[in-house]
Amino acid sequence: MITSKAISNGLRCMSTVGFIGLGNMGRHMAANLVSNGKDVVVYDVSSDAVNQLEGKGAKGAASPGEVAAQSNVLVTMVPSSPQVKEVYEGGVLANMKPGTLCIDSSTIDPSVSKSIASQVEKAGGLFYDAPVSGGVVAAENGALTFMVGGAEDKFSEVKSYLDMMGANVIYCGDNGNGLVVKLCNNMMLGASMVAAAETLNLGIRMGMDSQLLSDILSKSTARCWSIDTYNPVPGVLPGVPSSRDYEGGFGAALMLKDLGLAQGMADASSTTTQMGSLAKKIYEELCENTELAGKDFGVIFKDLSSK
């Protein structure tokens, strides 16, 4: 006997993948789905972003609801909790097909993600939180790390899509757990970027060449991603945001948002996070400058070096 569940699974194998959110990360993720042979329908509040993906072979849509109506698999990648709620409650839930597999790669409050997961389930779909790590370069190269939360029995299917956009897809447990891991990661990342920027600024002011200093730190016990892969000093590494006036990366305002979410988890769990709290304060002060708030979060080096 062929069940409706089997039918929906079969449809997803041959389905159109919907993608909502074509920012610095999402546009590369959607493009990688297209390059892997998937039929992809996209939406973004920016018509230019939609047009760019259409030029790569995707089909544009006029709204999130229109994307949902055409898709059996739906990926969302938007900036924050309010946008995720708006996308789902303002169109996706009312238009999605039964059995739709929903994958949200946004970095949001885990409690909001769990609420959306419950609503998707009531609408007959499946929901996974799958935030990412690796930055814009990894998104472009299909080398992201995905941290996935949701029902384990469908993880292999979720992974089959995420493998087209990433190099590491890791199951973290129930809905919301992927976000817990991501926010812990970004709390540490924010703190390490501040430490890297302070260290490099100090060495340069003491007369060290920025390239030599970075090379040595990359081979020493201080080695970290903020030094050897995403160095915040302009000109040290080609292709990273610091070498293009901090454009096109992970915005300082988004880092502040994530640090705030991490502190929310810390408060809720009565966990002491002094470094995380201090990193949040430093980025709050940085983001008071609206010009810097829109730059990549490595702009903390520019801010420190100007003082």
Residues classed as catalytic: 182
Token pair for 45: 């509040």
Burial category of 61 from C-beta neighbours within 10 Å (exposed 0-12, middle 13-18, buried 19 and up)? buried
288 in helix, strand or coil? coil
Rounded to an integer, what distance in angstroms lies between the CA atom of residue 307 and that of residue 297? Answer: 17
Q: Please classify residue 135 by burial: count the beta carbons closer than 10 Å to its beta carbon, then call 0-12 exposed, 13-18 middle and 19+ buried.
A: buried
In the block, residue with structure tokens 């949040």 = 280
Count CA atoms within 13 Å of residue 89 on its CB side: 13
User: What are the structure tokens assigned to 226, written together?
Assistant: 């903020």
The answer for residues whose C-beta is within 8 angstroms of residue 55's C-beta and 6 or more apart is none
Per-residue CA distances from 145 to 64, 76, 134, 148, 159 (Å): 25, 16, 6, 10, 11
How far apart, in Å, are the Cα atoms of 292 and each of 165, 254, 287?
29, 12, 6
